[in-house]
Amino acid sequence: MTINKEIIAELRTQFGDAFYLLDSERFINNFKELRNAFRRYYPNSNIAYSYKTNYAFPFCKIVNELGGYAEVVSEMELEIALRIGVNPERIIWNGPIKNPIILEKFLLAGGTDNIDNKEELEIVRKIACQHPGKTINIGIRVNYEVGDGVISRFGFDIETDEFKDVLHFVTATPNVHFKNFQCHFAKRQIQYWPARTQGMLDLIDGLDIVPERIDIGGGLFGKMEDSLKAQFSCEIPDYDAYAEVSAKLFAEYFQNKDKKPELLIEPGSAIVGDCMKFVGTVMSIKNVRGKWFASVLASQKNISMSGVNPPLVVININPEEKKYENLDFVGFTCIEGDVLYHGYSGPLAVGDVIVISNCGSYSIVMKPPFILPNFPILDISSDTVNIVKRAESFDDILHTYNF
Ligand SMILES: Cc1ncc(COP(=O)(O)O)c(C=O)c1O
């Protein structure tokens, strides 16, 4: 469905003055394009989709249908994957804190746990000990210098005795199947990618161990409009650029080796960022000491974007428009800084709609129940409207309180 004045007006009568639009077709294309970019260099590459970035069910289902993995970091995200019907063998559980009882069930069902710290190692050791007849799948989250100026708190520092202990456990325990090393570094700039890749290759080379998989994490930029790219101080690489500095190194390293482990990446933002838009209605326009403000049923909390002007299109619905200069679109919250867009110049009227793109990453998953419950999510990528998530009601938010 094309987003135009008529469609938006029709959706508004059915779903209210604000909603998200989810584009599952675009997500399918992004997933395939990114995986193919890596597979072109190293055929045994795959994607473990980061649920935390956006666990709207259509995205998670698509990943499963396309043969990707679910990358989860909590019991809740694990529950989502299981409800969607993901086979535990296709689920990778990362993260620093895991519920031991649920972890045990997960491991017995064939899931992979990437151990983050020595306390978790003891929990896993106990599980392995209690089920000697059952082989469990374990990986290790590793942490090494990539020159990004961050001392990451996640995983085992590979220079430590703790790392030696966990490595010994996963390689020498009869009922533990050592599945993979995994890492993740948050900075998306391409200059840190060769170091993260080379770090993994140096690690396995030094240890003379080739696990079944090597997982080099997420932290890639996705596709975005030029207006958004221009607001970053760094270059925004495309999928192929990331593949070239990682999958290509893998291909070269494993070229003459018999065992070619599966190379995993864990993107979230890179494939989902441009797959959601937010639509909000202009409710009032005012002038305060010479400055124009348009209040919109929307907020930074809905789109998790601040400090930039997101890609924005105004759809003029009310014919009584006037021309404004240097107008700020501001949100429904009572936060002074809740500015969705600074300095719009153009026609506008109350009742018009703004459509903000690139809202797929850390948006709905980070929306707090602040001032208003969240708005519905609609998938209009085919000819029909699919309600992915209905509007949250007051009761959805309030029913956990003990009145
Ligand atoms: C372990 C892990 N993998 C993958 C991701 C996804 O990151 P991004 O959305 O930046 O690709 C994150 C994000 O924090 C993460 O912690």
From 272, 301, 325, the end of a domain falls on 272
From 239, 272, 305, the end of a domain falls on 272
Residue 174 pLDDT grade (very low, low, confident, very high; cuts 50, 70, 90): very high
Q: Is residue 142 part of a domain?
A: yes
Chain segment 75-117, per-residue pLDDT in tens: 999 999 999 999 999 999 999 999 999 999 999 999 999 999 9
Q: Say if residue 348's pLDDT is above 90.
A: yes
Q: Is 94 in the pocket of ligand 1 (CB under 6 A)?
A: yes
Domain shared by 362 and 251, yes or no? no
Q: Is 270 in the pocket of ligand 1 (CB under 6 A)?
A: yes
Domain shared by 219 and 279, yes or no? no
Q: Are 45 and 39 in contact (CB under 8 A)?
A: yes
pLDDT, the chain, mean: 97
Q: What is the CATH number of the domain that holds 362?
A: 2.40.37.10
Q: Is residue 403 part of a domain?
A: no
Q: State the Cα–Cα distance between residues 355 and 1, nearest whole angstrom.
A: 15
Q: Are 15 and 376 in contact (CB under 8 A)?
A: yes
Domain shared by 255 and 289, yes or no? no
Q: State the Cα–Cα distance between residues 333 and 366, nearest whole angstrom.
A: 16
Q: Is residue 394 part of a domain?
A: yes
How much distance in Å is there from the Cα of 348 to the middle of ligand 1? 38
Domain shared by 203 and 289, yes or no? no
Report the nearest-CA residue for atom 5 of ligand 1. 218
Residue 58 pLDDT grade (very low, low, confident, very high; cuts 50, 70, 90): very high
Q: In this structure, what token pair is assigned to residue 3?
A: 């987003």
Domain shared by 128 and 232, yes or no? yes
For 322, phi and psi rounded to 5 degrees? -125, 165
Instruction: Tell me the C-alpha to C-alpha distance, in Å, between residue 128 and each of 67, 121, 138, 179.
Output: 28, 10, 10, 15
Mutational pocket test of ligand 1: of 52, 60, 264, the residue with most ligand atoms within 8 Å of the beta carbon: 52
For 376, phi and psi rounded to 5 degrees? -70, 160
Residue 361 pLDDT grade (very low, low, confident, very high; cuts 50, 70, 90): very high
Q: What angle do CA 77, 216, 91 make, to 5 degrees?
A: 30
Q: Is residue 283 part of a domain?
A: yes
Domain shared by 15 and 117, yes or no? no
Structural domain range at position 389: 5-22+274-398
Instruction: Tell me the C-alpha to C-alpha distance, in Å, between residue 76 and each of 83, 346, 365, 394.
Output: 10, 44, 12, 22
Q: Is 217 in the pocket of ligand 1 (CB under 6 A)?
A: yes
From 254, 272, 290, the end of a domain falls on 272
Q: Is 378 in the pocket of ligand 1 (CB under 6 A)?
A: no
Q: Are 186 and 150 in contact (CB under 8 A)?
A: yes
Residue 403 pLDDT grade (very low, low, confident, very high; cuts 50, 70, 90): confident
Q: What pLDDT, on a 0 to 100 scale, did the predictor assign at position 305?
A: 85
Q: Is 142 in the pocket of ligand 1 (CB under 6 A)?
A: no
Atom number of ligand 1 nearest to Cα 73: 1
Q: Say if residue 173's pLDDT is above 90.
A: yes
Q: Say if residue 306's pLDDT is above 90.
A: no
Residue 1 pLDDT grade (very low, low, confident, very high; cuts 50, 70, 90): confident
Atom number of ligand 1 nearest to Cα 188: 10
Q: Is residue 246 part of a domain?
A: yes
Reduce the secondary structure of the chain to three states and give it as a string.
CCCCHHHHHHHHHHHCCEEEEECHHHHHHHHHHHHHHHHHHCCCEEEEEEHHHCCCHHHHHHHHHCCCEEEECCHHHHHHHHHHCCCHHHEEECCCCCCHHHHHHHHHCCCEEEECCHHHHHHHHHHHHHCCCCCEEEEEEEECCCCCCCCCCCCEECCCHHHHHHHHHHHHCCCEEEEEEECCCCCCCHHHHHHHHHHHHHHHHHHCCCCCEEECCCCCCCCCCHHHHCCCCCCCCCHHHHHHHHHHHHHHHHCCCCCCCEEEECCCHHHHHHHEEEEEEEEEEEEECCEEEEEECCCHHHHCCCCCCCCEEEECCCCCCEEEEEEEEECCCCCCCCEEEEEEEEEECCCCEEEECCCCCCCHHHCCCCCCCCCCEEECCCCCCEEEECCCCHHHHHCCCCC
* Region for residue 51 given its phi and psi (left: phi exceeds 0; alpha: psi -120 to 50; beta: otherwise): alpha
Q: What is the CATH number of the domain that holds 77?
A: 3.20.20.10
Q: In this structure, what token pair is assigned to residue 149?
A: 């100026």
**What is the length of the chain?**
403
For 325, phi and psi rounded to 5 degrees? -120, 135
Q: Which of 260, 187, 267 is nearest to 222 (CA)?
A: 267
Domain shared by 196 and 92, yes or no? yes
Mutational pocket test of ligand 1: of 53, 63, 275, 361, the residue with most ligand atoms within 8 Å of the beta carbon: 53
How much distance in Å is there from the Cα of 208 to the middle of ligand 1? 28
Q: Is residue 375 part of a domain?
A: yes
Q: What pLDDT, on a 0 to 100 scale, did the predictor assign at position 304?
A: 86
Residue 307 pLDDT grade (very low, low, confident, very high; cuts 50, 70, 90): confident
Q: State the Cα–Cα distance between residues 44 and 34, nearest whole angstrom.
A: 13
Chain segment 21-49, per-residue pLDDT in tens: 999 999 999 999 999 999 999 999 999 99
Q: Is residue 237 part of a domain?
A: yes
Domain shared by 221 and 286, yes or no? no
Q: State the Cα–Cα distance between residues 34 and 50, nearest whole angstrom.
A: 14
Q: Which of 135, 102, 95 is nearest to 117 (CA)?
A: 95
Quick one: what percent of the chain has pLDDT higher than 70?
100
Domain shared by 85 and 212, yes or no? yes
Residue 2 pLDDT grade (very low, low, confident, very high; cuts 50, 70, 90): confident
Entry pTM: 0.97
Domain shared by 112 and 217, yes or no? yes
Q: Is 184 in the pocket of ligand 1 (CB under 6 A)?
A: yes
Domain shared by 266 and 147, yes or no? yes
Q: What pLDDT, on a 0 to 100 scale, did the predictor assign at position 15?
A: 98
Q: Is residue 98 part of a domain?
A: yes
How much distance in Å is there from the Cα of 218 to the middle of ligand 1? 5
How much distance in Å is there from the Cα of 227 to the middle of ligand 1? 24
Domain shared by 15 and 38, yes or no? no
Q: What pLDDT, on a 0 to 100 scale, did the predictor assign at position 147?
A: 94
Chain segment 278-299, per-residue pLDDT in tens: 999 999 999 999 999 999 999 9
The number of distinct structural domains making up the chain is 2
How much distance in Å is there from the Cα of 400 to the middle of ligand 1? 30
- Cross-strand bridge partners of residue 346: 324
Q: What pLDDT, on a 0 to 100 scale, did the predictor assign at position 219?
A: 97
Report the nearest-CA residue for atom 4 of ligand 1. 218
Chain segment 221-248, per-residue pLDDT in tens: 999 999 999 999 999 999 999 999 999 9
Q: Say if residue 170's pLDDT is above 90.
A: yes
Pairing of strands 176-182, 136-143: parallel
